Amino acid sequence: MKIQEQILDAFSSRGRSLEPLGLQEIAWVKSDALEIVARLVDNGVAVLGGDVYKESPDGLRPAYENWYCERSSGEDFRAFTERSREKAVTFLRSYPDPAEAMFVLVLSEGRTAGL
């Protein structure tokens, strides 16, 4: 099992499935998203970006807010993972704290991520 899967499995009971929207994704509250980002990047997983979902009377819906991080030309993977963490943490921490906001993380363990 990949480290990414191990860490996400450890948090799975706290996440919210987006299967009702036809997506094979999990949304996390801000505090869990921040902890997941820290653990994953420490284990060599890059955060390519993320999407915001908000609670509505019909369930979670896209907020049409997101961030992304592209790998720079010639940037080694470790430097990219660190920079991707900084970008993700900055976005998550600066996002207003409405109780209904949840975050989907786009991740990659591949050394060619972002190329």
* CATH code assigned at 103: 3.30.190.30
Residues 75-108 have pLDDT tens digits of 999 999 999 999 999 999 999 977 889 999 998 8
Element (H, E) at 106: strand 101-108
pLDDT category at 58 given cuts 50, 70, 90 is confident
- Inside any domain, residue 114: no
Position 4 scores a pLDDT of 64
Question: What does the alpha-carbon distance between residue 3 and residue 7 come to, in Å, rounded to a whole number?
Answer: 6
Q: Which domain holds residue 88?
A: 3-108
Position 113 scores a pLDDT of 57
Number of domains in the chain: 1
Question: What does the alpha-carbon distance between residue 45 and residue 56 come to, in Å, rounded to a whole number?
Answer: 31
Angle (nearest 5°) at CA 1 between 70 and 82: 30
- Inside any domain, residue 54: yes
> pTM of whole model > 0.95?
no
Question: Which of 111, 115, 109, 106 lies closest to 47, judged by CA?
Answer: 106
- Inside any domain, residue 115: no
